[in-house]
Structure 1
Amino acid sequence: MLVLLVEDDTSLAAQLIDFLQCEGIEVDYAMSVASAKEIAVQTNLYSRYDAVILDMDLPDGSGLNLLSEDILGQGVPVLFCTAATALEDKLAAFSAGALDYITKPFALPELVVRLKILAQKQPKKADVMFELDSLCIDFSMKIARRGERILVLSPQQWQLLSLLAKHSPTPVNKDQILIHIWPDQDVNNNMYKSLLTRLRRNITKYDEPELIHTIKSQGVVLRCING
């Protein structure tokens, strides 16, 4: 679980980070609106936070600004942790999109429970990595490796490999492949076989085990021969 903590009280932040890490929760820390923006943008290149702990009053502005500008990523659960106890502050936070609100002082175990409940409301992240034998596919970066080799794939080869990986170890039939790769074209059998052959040759070289198999009456599957 990864959370972003935005808190300008460094002493409190240190206590929170220590406690959360003991609970197995990873923490990114920012002490201002500006630093939170920078960290969030960098992190969102690769993943979304499971939750955000956000203070209301920060040195360079309000935590509400981070929500209104959608810096934290769409759909990321936000818990306000603040000394602001007025009803209007709470209503403003919920109106901006916060899902929870806790006022200082608070019990650390209570904060952890609230965070875990928030994280359960977050849609599950799609798998971005696939590994089989020495084959590794990073869907987010669109990079495939076999051992130390970076595979140089055509767009159609990448589409086919991604399709097989996402269905692995279940076979994908020929019709599914044709619709996925050539949705608006009439494709002859030679084009289909040629694409499959080129992908096989790119993935398997030297003494590497074959990973793409054709199963009669079922289709094509990406898996180890003993899998």
Structure 2
Amino acid sequence: MRLLIVEDEADLASALRTGLSHAGYAVDTAATGAEALAKFGVHAYDLVVLDLNLPDGDGLLLCRRIRSVSGVRILMLTARASLADRVRGLDHGADDYLVKPFALAELLARLRALLRRDGDTGEPVLRAGGLELDPASGEVSRGGVPITLTRKEFGVLRYLMSRPGRLIPAEELLEHVWDEFANPFTETVRVTVGTLRRKVSSPGGTPPIETVIGRGYRLVDR
């Protein structure tokens, strides 16, 4: 899942990028509303975490602009704590509202809840292709046997398992699992999927991840 963090406090933005990346998300950041709109116009984000106090305008207006063109989930993360502020935020199109200071664990729980609303993660625990993946704990297993994955492998598997049977182009995986610093001309998706396939395949069995040459990848839910 790919997130856009709109936050002008550099230290907090960096901490959020680190914490959310460790949780398996691909994270881009923007320090101003203009930068956020520019990135939003180029990339397909699954969720936006939005501060309201931005140097070039009020985040409420940015929220309304994003909402006017997209159904992307928006979580406001701000120091504005009054009931009136919360109501205004939700009325401007936010899906949730979290007041600073906050605990990372609560932020992660709210992100998971928002993403579940779109059906992107299906049930809290995904089961497909003989595999079981818990988005909350980051654990993956096959037949009760744990499988150790890198963050990118986990992100790819999570994306495929939430769309079993659907053919996913490499470009779509790159857009949703990698961040803005990924080089689109490298073989990173092919290499990651190849390593992932070996890890999740049972000995002597048919790999649950199929490659359709020239078109993409599919998780087969046998």
Give the gaps of 5 or more residues in structure 2. Answer: 121-162, 171-209
Moved >6 Å (runs of 4+): none
1:57 aligns to 2:97 (yes or no): no
Identity %: 36
Following superposition, the deviation at residue 70 of structure 1 comes to: 2.7
Normalised TM-score (structure 1): 0.54
User: Structure 1 residues 18, 132: closer, same or farther in 2, change over 3 A?
Assistant: closer
Q: Secondary structure at the match of 2:108?
A: helix
Q: CA RMSD in A?
A: 2.6
* Mapping for residues 77-226 of structure 1, pairs under 5 Å: 77-124=73-120, 129=169, 133-136=212-215
SS of the residue corresponding to residue 102 of structure 2 reads coil
Cα displacement string for residues 120-143 of structure 1 (whole angstroms, at most 9, x for unaligned residues): 1125488553975534279xxxxx
User: 1:134, 1:16 → 2: CA distance?
Assistant: 37
The one-letter code matched in structure 1 to 2:74 is V
**Matched residue, 2:40:** 40
Q: Which amino acid aligns with 1:14?
A: S
Distance in structure 1 (CA, Å) of the matches to 2:110 and 2:63: 19
Conserved in 2, the CA contact under 8 Å of 1:3 and 1:27? yes
**Amino acid corresponding to residue 32 of structure 1 in structure 2:** T
CA displacement, residues 148-183 of structure 1 (integer Å, 9 cap, x when unaligned): xxxxxxxxxxxxxxxxxxxxx9xxxxxxxxxxxxxx
Closer, same or farther: CA 41–28 of 1 in aligned 2, 3 Å:
same
Aligned to 1:19: 19
**Structure-2 separation of matches of 1:115 and 1:92:** 20
Give the match's secondary structure for 1:69. Answer: helix
**Partner amino acid, structure 1, of 2:38:** E
Corresponding residue for residue 141 of structure 1: none
Structure 1 residue ranges without an equivalent (≥5): 139-168, 170-227
Q: Which has the larger radius of gyration?
A: 1
Give the counterpart letter for 1:50 in structure 2: D
Indicate how the Cα distance of structure 1 residues 25 and 39 shifts in structure 2: closer, same or farther if over 3 A, else same. Answer: same
Bigger relative contact order, structure 1 or 2, given CA contacts below 8 A and separation 6+? Answer: 2
